[in-house]
Amino acid sequence: MGYKKNSNLSGKLADELKKTREEINIKNEFGTIPKSIMIFKKSKILMNLIENDNQDFETEIRQKGTRGGGYAKNLKFSTYNPDQAEFIIKYYTRENDLILDPFMGRTTRPIISLYYNRKYIGFDTCKKTCDFNLKLIEKKFGNSKNNDFTIINGDGTSMISDLKDNSIDCVFTCPPYYDKEKYSGEEGDLSYISYEEFNKKMQQCFDILYKKIKKSIYKEKKFYPVIFTVGTIRQQDSGIFDMDFIFQNMAYKSGFILHDKLFTENLTPGAGYTFRRNYLYKFVTKNYETTLVFLKY
C-alpha cells in the first residue's frame, strides 16, 4: 500500500527546518542569537589586534589626570571594546561597505573595520591619535589596505560636510560622553565645551549625516545604518544627562528613525570606588552603554 504525502505538513516542516538551520548559522557566526541586551568579552586576539596595551600610545596620548579627579586620575581613557565593534560591523554591515566614523578615537573601529574588509573614513581632532592609527594600520596590514581607508585630522562634526551626499553605507561612531573624559583639548574637541554647545555641535553632525548616508529601503532589506554608542552622565542634583534620550531627539529632528537599540554591559573600573557614594545618594552604578541604530527612509 502506497504512502500518501501530506504536502501541507511537509511545507510546514520544511519551513521549520529552514528556520532551524538559519538559527544554527547565526549562532555559529555570533556565538549566540543576537539580543537587545548583550555582554561582550574582550577577547585576547582582538585586544592584541588593536594593541590595547601599547605603551607608546600611553606615553604620547594619555595625559595623567585628564580623566578626572580622585580615584579616576590614574585610570586609562576607555577604549571601545573590539568584540563589540566586531559584532556591530559584522551584523549591521557588509563586506566593502564604506564606514564613516566622525569620532574615531584610538584604534578599535578603524582596525576592526579593515580587518573585516570594510572601507573606512575616520576623523579625529587629535593629530597624535591620527598618526598612531596610521602607524598601527600600516603595522597590521602593510600596504594591502591603502585604498580602503582615509584618516583625517579635524572636527568630524563639520568636516564630514565635504563628503559626497548619499555616499556612505554606514556611520559607526562613539562620541565623547560630554566632559566625562577630557581628551586632547585640540580645536574641535567636544570634551572641553559646555553641554549646550556640545548638543549644538551634535545636532549639526546629525543634520549633515542625514545628507551623507544612503537611503534605506525596508521592503528590499537594504539598510544603511547610522550607529552611535552613547552613555549617561550624572551631574549631582541636576540628575542624569541621558545621551540615549538626547541623541534620539537630535536624530528625529534631522529626519532619522530609530531602527534598533542594543544595550551592552561594561566592566566599570570605578565601581569598586563609587558604590558607597552611590548607595548614600540612592543611585546604582551605571555599567552599561546604549548603541542606537538610525536609518534614513
Q: Where does the chain show beta strands of DSSP type E?
A: 37-38, 98-101, 119-124, 149-153, 170-173, 226-230, 232-234, 240-242, 257-265, 288-295
For residue 3, pLDDT over 80 is answered with no
- From CA 250, how far away is CA 254, in angstroms rounded? 6
Tell me the CATH number for domain 42-295. Answer: 3.40.50.150
- From CA 61, how far away is CA 182, in angstroms rounded? 12
Contact 213, 168 (CB under 8 A): yes
pLDDT of residue 61: 54
What's the Cα-to-Cα distance from 204 to each of 200, 235, 250, 259, rounded to whole Å? 6, 24, 9, 21
For residue 77, pLDDT over 70 is answered with no
Which grid coordinates belong to 291?
Answer: 548603541
Q: Indicate the pTM of the whole model.
A: 0.87
pLDDT of residue 72: 47
* Listed ranges 163-172, 180-189, 283-292; the one with the highest mean pLDDT: 163-172
Residue scoring higher pLDDT (11 or 275): 275
Q: Which of 155-159, 225-229, 275-279 has the lowest mean pLDDT?
A: 275-279
The confidence band for 269, taking pLDDT boundaries of 50, 70 and 90, is low
The ranges assigned to domains in the chain are 42-295
Neighbouring C-beta atoms of residue 159, cutoff 10 Å: 16
Mean pLDDT of the chain: 87
- From CA 296, how far away is CA 199, in angstroms rounded? 21
Residue scoring higher pLDDT (143 or 68): 143
pLDDT in tens, 92-135: 999 999 999 999 998 899 999 999 999 999 999 999 999 999 99
Q: Which of 3-12, 79-88, 138-147 has the lowest mean pLDDT?
A: 3-12
The confidence band for 18, taking pLDDT boundaries of 50, 70 and 90, is low
The confidence band for 60, taking pLDDT boundaries of 50, 70 and 90, is low
Phi, psi of 111 (to 5 degrees): -65, -45
